[in-house]
């Protein structure tokens, strides 16, 4: 191995370790798993309240404004709201956001009264 290859390898490994640090410790929570919201309500009431506010507000915003609204109002990081609507009835979209070190993910059902999280089952996931 020549010096240039060795240097490139060290830089790649160092970069991977540097970027993996904050993300390796991050926990991922699938809000569509049965009982997920109840567990969050019991273990982290502040996140539970934020999640409910986000769900209540989704239908009141234009799709293009959802991410900015979530970041600004709830100090969430890495928020995303799928630009694609799944052609199911009722329509569904994918939502992700990070609060503290928890990455939340949900497939939300867009209903007239507000967005809903429907627990996953073999027939709807």
pLDDT digits (tens, 9 = 90+) for 5-24: 333 433 444 434 444 444 44
115 strand-pairing partners? 110
- The better pLDDT of the pair 23, 111 is held by 111
Q: Is residue 21 part of a domain?
A: no
Q: Say how many domains are in the chain.
A: 1
pLDDT above 90 for 4: no
The answer for 100, left when phi > 0, alpha when psi is -120 to 50, beta otherwise, is left
Helices (H) then strands (E): counts for the chain: 4, 5
How far the first Cα of the chain sits from its last, in Å, is 48
The pLDDT tens digits for 38-78 are 999 999 999 999 999 999 898 888 888 999 999 999 999 99
Q: Is residue 58 part of a domain?
A: yes
Instruction: State residue 38's pLDDT score.
Output: 96
Q: What is the DSSP letter of 49?
A: H
| Domain extent for 92 | 26-117
The pLDDT tens digits for 22-40 are 444 569 999 999 999 999 9
Q: Is residue 104 part of a domain?
A: yes
Residue showing tokens 């329509």:
91
């Amino acid at each position: 191995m020549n010096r240039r290859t060795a240097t490139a390898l060290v830089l790649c490994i160092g970069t991977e370790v540097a970027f993996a640090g904050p993300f390796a410790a991050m926990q991922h929570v699938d809000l569509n798993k049965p009982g997920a919201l109840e567990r969050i309500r019991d273990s982290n009431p502040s996140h539970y309240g934020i999640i409910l506010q986000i769900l209540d507000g989704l239908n009141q915003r234009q799709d293009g404004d959802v991410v900015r609204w979530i970041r600004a109002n709830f100090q969430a990081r890495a928020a995303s709201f799928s630009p694609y609507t799944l052609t199911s009835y009722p329509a569904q979209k994918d939502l992700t956001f990070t609060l503290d070190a928890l990455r939340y993910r949900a497939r939300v059902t867009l209903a007239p009264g507000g967005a809903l999280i429907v627990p996953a089952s073999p027939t709807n996931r």
